[in-house]
Amino acid sequence: MQSVCKILAKSEIGTVFAPELSYLIKMGSSVVSDTVFLSIVIPTYNRKAILEKCLRALETQQLNVSSSITGYEIILVDDGSTDGTLEWLETYKTEFPHVRTFQQDHQGPAVARNLGVEKAQGDTIIFIDSDLVVTENFLQAHGDALVQGREKLGSDRFFTYGAVINTCNFDHPTSEPYKLTDFSAAFFATGNVAIPKHWLEKAGLFDTSFQLYGWEDLELGVRLKKLGLTLIKCPQAVGYHWHPPFSLDQIKSLIDKEIQRGRMGVLFYQKHPTWEVRMMIQMTWLHRLLWGMLSLNGTLNERTMAPFLQWLINRGKPQLALEIARIFLNWYNVKGVYEAYAEVR
């Protein structure tokens, strides 16, 4: 049936017009469209430098003449940044016509993403992080995969998941090759995913009781799976996830994140007490044995490993140093899981 919809979004940062949406195809009890209007939801907190690269990459997207994408907007939710992010955006707002900006006190990414979904005017949400720099055909790849998936399945009960390549190359992030360590087995993660908005709303959005680091996106993924959604891989939609080169002064915060992730993992398990979740959060005897053995029961730690890690860093191998550091970082995570679980039993 015919459905014509014009979308006009205004904010202090920019103005966005969406072209007319084309016909909808009704299949059984579901109504699916042969076109998409995309809302890219990005939470950000004190990442002004890499955020600029993130937004410029989204503003220079190459869409096909006969594209399935009728238009797109960028919903940026500032999570209480103190680095001048909002002031910078106001100064250069004419360079980012697709951006609509919203602000909240520092409450974390779950609350920020929920606000972004609430404000989004598109029928399809793309989640990325503010330190992700995408390729020029990123949106087109997601759009094509969404439409092709609807034609193949006869419904929109799925989401598309793009590729994420980790890099510490700030000047040329998109030059990083794919590595084995970039592989992810996650069902649903917010680093690079496109999903119909109404499924997020039906699932209940992100659970804001996840106050510390980790698991809020995978927990939502469990609820989406219960609704019958499936994952369609979209390797052509590539994003380069930037992080600063590993250094020893990052270890304290990395350990803190692993302990937080362990605690939030237990919250995840309380909400979904299944073997699958236990495996995800590493709350099994196998994980305890594995990381205990690899770290020599904690003997290999941030103090004893520091000289070797610094030696690798000095030889231009910070990524290798980080991967080796994950031995004791994972041990902290497993200990955090069991300590948190003991508290709630």
Cα 245 from Cα 267, distance rounded (Å): 31
pLDDT at 35: 85
pLDDT at 65: 86
pLDDT in tens, 195-232: 999 999 999 999 999 999 999 999 999 999 999 999 99
CB 97 within 8 A of CB 105: no
Q: Is 84 left (phi over 0), alpha (psi -120 to 50) or beta?
A: left
pLDDT at 238: 98
SS3 content of the chain, % helix, strand, coil (to 5): 45, 20, 35
pLDDT at 29: 38
CB 19 within 8 A of CB 29: no
**Would you tell me which CATH number, out of the four given (3.30.70.20, 3.90.550.10, 3.40.50.620, 3.40.50.1370), belongs to the domain 7-242?**
3.90.550.10
pLDDT in tens, 45-97: 999 999 999 999 999 999 998 888 999 999 999 999 999 999 999 999 999 99
Classify residue 33 as exposed, middle or buried by CB count within 10 Å of its CB (0-12, 13-18, 19+). Answer: buried
pLDDT at 316: 95
**Domain regions of the chain by residue span:** 7-242, 248-344
pLDDT at 18: 40
Instruction: Taking the CA atoms of 121, 127, 132 and 133 in sequence, report the sign of the dihedral they define.
Output: negative
**Cα 163 to chain centroid, rounded:** 11
Nearest to 233 by CA among 112, 295, 141: 141
Q: Which residues of the chain have pLDDT under 70?
A: 1-33
